[in-house]
Chains A and B, each alone.
Chain A
Amino acid sequence: MKKIMIASIVCVAALYGAESDIEALKTQMHMQQEVIEKLQHRVEELERRDLKKQERELDARIERAESFSGSFDQSAFLPSISLVADMSVLGRNVGNEAYENYEIPGFLSNPGEIPFNPKRGFNLNYGELGISATVGPYFDVDSAFHIEKDGLHIGELYVTTRTLPYHLRMKAGKFKSEFGVINAKHQHAWNFTNIPLVFETFFGPGGLGDEGMQMQWVAPTENYLMAGVEAMQGSNGRSFGDTDKINLWTGYLKGGADFGESGTAVAGLTYMRGRNPHGITHIYGGDLTLKTLFGSYSALTWQSELLYRDKEGTGDQAGLYTELIYDYNQQWAGGARYDLLFKNVGDLPEDLDRYTVMLQYRPFEFSKLRLQYTYDRSKWIEGDRKDIQELLLGLTIEAGSHGAHAF
């Protein structure tokens, strides 16, 4: 091509026959020829260099490959691991042995094992080992193991679906029921160190957790609306306890809405139906949480829940709690809770209540010191009503991978 072009230029020049023009063209051609040669030379040089570079890179790669030992290394798939520890020092106006056998008339003849802060003096309540991971495209797994003095207990171990259609999600395994507000939360996420009386007496000091399955559906509405159904074995002895087959069904509805940029409300309704050894247990529940933000780190939260139980063989009983929490900043928070069992069976007392106040300091997001005072009028010690006063200083730390807090 190049040659043809040059030839044609020469031809054209010859046709016109101007000698000086031909001379000029010749020198020009010569110069162009030189440029082309230089360029060719450079291209060759670059190609050579590139080849050398490739050879060097291959050499380096071979060297690395010769000493490579990580073919089956799976450390990138390590699940998220966390460790929560909870401990306290405590003073109480009742001796340890007497306290271990307290009674709440009509509700509880014996507290059973008290997992959180049972003794005067020092308490190491638990270490909670949390392991969670995405199993694959279809499942997540979450777990919480409680390391206690007498062994390792499965607090929760459940699998959740990731890709169900129609805005559904399922959970299977052992898990804490997600009805209401406080039940699904772990002890270290509570605002006070003990669960409200009505939860303790109906489900135990850790709330309702059992083996089962759960399905949740988010409604296609502008405001938040979620419906959930849970089927459980019913092994919770305080309200159910007949475990011959699937014996506990729970359904709940939760809704939420905002008020302006800083206010939000969440409300829920619950119904449970389960079997106890003497018949059927129905539980009706309602909850309401109002929160207003004063800034990124300051908020006021008012949270209340009510539970009503109709248990065949026992009778109708009910209780509620209401608490107000003020987060002053990221470090300081304070709160008060009123706790009441207001409906009892027969002629048994209906003024079983408790007052709790707390002051909380977080030196850092993942550690919390809490000073809590409790005035408890719900308990009978050695057959007599006894007002129990308790002062507690607790420390909770959350180390390792840290899941975000749910609302």
Chain B
Amino acid sequence: MKKFIFVWFSLISALLAEIHVVTTYPYLAEIAKEVGGEGVRVKSLASPKFDPHFILPKPSLIPALRKADLLVINGAGLEIGWLPPLIKRANNPKIRPGGEGFVDASRVVDLLGKTHAVSRAYGDVHPEGNPHYALDPHNVLPIAALIERKLETIDPASKRRYRENFDRFSREWREFLKDFDAKMARCRGKKVVQYHELYNYLLHRYGMESTGTIEPLPGIAPSSKHTVELIGMMKKEGVDTILQDVYHESKTARFIASKTEAKVVVLPHDVGAVEGADTLRKFYETVAERLCR
């Protein structure tokens, strides 16, 4: 019976000859779809509604990893709390770190905030650097190029198609970046406070300044002492914007807003995190619209 199922399954998969790409987060899936085009099935493991650090490693995520030909991860420690046991249990040697079908997108990105002093006394720090680089649209093309190269390696028969897809996407994205950069230029010099150091790449790219975080240390819940200090700092520095993500509590942000007259801006951290941000372009456009009106 098992044999029959196996033969039947390999027959079906040979007939379809589809390449299965699994990504950890939705934005990576969107990039993979652009490069892969038809004939590549892409699935994202994490839902954009949840904190990317704390995805529930439920067994229902295993079947996708089991049949994946390529696994694209964000890297820089963002998946350390949930992905390793899933990879281990998927029993798929291709997508193990170091395997032919494993790729860590953070390797083609210049990471910000590499800390030299690493200790858990500083909270949940990432020694590799800040992993939330998805917020900078200029990181999209290097990642797309990396995925394209990987697809060529695992599926050489469709090499030309991937090249063409990448070239087209690359042209379109450069156009998009021109518009986007122009829109974001209006925000230059803006001072903001954020919950977690989630938007650093965006702020850094477009000349904005993160003056503080609502959490006192990465991964540590807000304390009243820290909140009071933050309010004092914001008044002194004239900070008028609080960046809030979709998965942390927003009570503290609203409290700070009521004391400082700053406004709370809910920004998506990934494709699909807020309504209307359901494609790669719309994700960044939503960020620009909400932040730089």
A364 engages B123 (CB within 8 Å)? yes
Query: B74-97 CB contact bits vs A (8 Å, 1 = yes)?
Result: 000000111111001111110010
Separation in Å of the B250 CB from the closest CB of chain A? Answer: 11
A364 engages B59 (CB within 8 Å)? no
Interface presence of A366 (CB below 8 A): yes
- What CA separation (Å) do A152 and B91 show in the bound complex? 32
A218 engages B58 (CB within 8 Å)? no
A331 engages B221 (CB within 8 Å)? yes
Given A261-B49, A365-B124: A407 touches B9 (CB 8 Å cut-off): no
List, in ascending order, chain B residues with CB within 8 A of A337's CB: none
- What CA separation (Å) do A403 and B80 show in the bound complex? 8
Which of these, A162, A220, A222, A330, contacts B5 with CB under 8 Å? A220
Interface presence of B171 (CB below 8 A): no
Interface presence of B255 (CB below 8 A): no
Which of these, B60, B84, B220, B248, contacts A264 with CB under 8 Å? B60
Q: Which residue of B lies closest to A138 (CB)?
A: B93
Stretch at the interface among A84-92, A110-118, A290-298: A290-298
B57 engages A406 (CB within 8 Å)? yes
Q: Which residue of A lies closest to B85 (CB)?
A: A406
Size category, B interface? 35 or more
Interface presence of A221 (CB below 8 A): yes
Separation in Å of the A264 CB from the closest CB of chain B? Answer: 5
B58 engages A291 (CB within 8 Å)? yes
Interface presence of A404 (CB below 8 A): yes
Which of these, A137, A224, A331, contacts B59 with CB under 8 Å? A224
Query: A145-188 CB contact bits vs B (8 Å, 1 = yes)?
Result: 00000000000000010111111110000000000000000000
List, in ascending order, chain A residues with CB within 8 A of B62's CB: 218, 224, 226, 256
Which of these, A163, A169, A223, A293, contacts B56 with CB under 8 Å? A293
Q: Which residue of A lies closest to B84 (CB)?
A: A404
B247 engages A218 (CB within 8 Å)? no
Separation in Å of the A317 CB from the closest CB of chain B? Answer: 30
Q: Which residue of B lies closest to A169 (CB)?
A: B91
Separation in Å of the A327 CB from the closest CB of chain B? Answer: 11
A407 engages B58 (CB within 8 Å)? yes
- What CA separation (Å) do A342 and B66 show in the bound complex? 40
A296 engages B54 (CB within 8 Å)? yes
B90 engages A218 (CB within 8 Å)? yes
Residue in B57, B63, B83, B123 whose Cβ sees the most chain A Cβ within 10 Å: B63
List, in ascending order, chain A residues with CB within 8 A of B57's CB: 404-407
A218 engages B84 (CB within 8 Å)? no
A220 engages B60 (CB within 8 Å)? no
B5 engages A164 (CB within 8 Å)? no
Interface presence of B169 (CB below 8 A): no
List, in ascending order, chain B residues with CB within 8 A of A365's CB: 124, 219
A404 engages B81 (CB within 8 Å)? yes
B54 engages A297 (CB within 8 Å)? yes
Q: Which residue of B lies closest to A256 (CB)?
A: B59
- What CA separation (Å) do A224 and B80 show in the bound complex? 22
Interface presence of B164 (CB below 8 A): no
List, in ascending order, chain A residues with CB within 8 A of B247's CB: 295-296
Interface presence of A243 (CB below 8 A): no
Interface presence of A258 (CB below 8 A): yes
B81 engages A296 (CB within 8 Å)? no
Interface presence of B179 (CB below 8 A): no
Interface presence of B139 (CB below 8 A): no
Which of these, B66, B83, B90, B93, contacts A163 with CB under 8 Å? B93
- What CA separation (Å) do A80 and B36 show in the bound complex? 36
Given A162-B93, A404-B84: A220 touches B59 (CB 8 Å cut-off): no
Q: Which residue of B lies closest to A137 (CB)?
A: B98
List, in ascending order, chain A residues with CB within 8 A of B249's CB: 329
Query: A313-349 CB contact bits vs B (8 Å, 1 = yes)?
Result: 0000000000000000111000000000000000000
List, in ascending order, chain A residues with CB within 8 A of B38's CB: none
A162 engages B96 (CB within 8 Å)? yes
B56 engages A258 (CB within 8 Å)? no
Interface presence of A266 (CB below 8 A): yes
Interface presence of B18 (CB below 8 A): no
Query: B1-34 CB contact bits vs A (8 Å, 1 = yes)?
Result: 0000110010000000000000000000000000
Given A258-B58, A406-B85, A407-B58: A221 touches B63 (CB 8 Å cut-off): yes
Which of these, B51, B66, B85, B221, contacts A296 with CB under 8 Å? B51
- What CA separation (Å) do A295 and B47 show in the bound complex? 11
List, in ascending order, chain A residues with CB within 8 A of B206's CB: none
B221 engages A164 (CB within 8 Å)? no
Interface presence of B180 (CB below 8 A): no
Residue in A222, A266, A406 whose Cβ sees the most chain B Cβ within 10 Å: A406
Residue in B47, B67, B89, B247 whose Cβ sees the most chain A Cβ within 10 Å: B89
Separation in Å of the A298 CB from the closest CB of chain B? Answer: 10
Residue in A140, A217, A256 whose Cβ sees the most chain B Cβ within 10 Å: A256
Interface presence of B120 (CB below 8 A): yes
Query: A123-158 CB contact bits vs B (8 Å, 1 = yes)?
Result: 000000000000001001000000000000000000
- What CA separation (Å) do A196 and B92 show in the bound complex? 34
Q: Which residue of B lies closest to A225 (CB)?
A: B63
- What CA separation (Å) do A261 and B80 show in the bound complex? 22
Interface presence of B50 (CB below 8 A): yes
Query: 17 A-B contacts, Cβ less than 8 Å apart?
Result: A162-B96, A163-B96, A168-B91, A169-B89, A254-B59, A258-B58, A258-B60, A296-B50, A296-B54, A296-B248, A330-B219, A330-B221, A364-B124, A399-B120, A404-B82, A405-B57, A407-B56
A interface vs B, CB < 8 Å?
137, 140, 160, 162-169, 216-218, 220-224, 226, 254, 256-258, 261, 264, 266, 291, 293, 295-297, 299, 329-331, 364-366, 399, 403-407
Known: A221-B63, A364-B120. 14 other contacts (CB 8 A): A162-B93, A162-B96, A169-B91, A218-B66, A220-B66, A220-B67, A256-B60, A291-B56, A295-B247, A297-B51, A399-B120, A404-B80, A404-B85, A405-B57
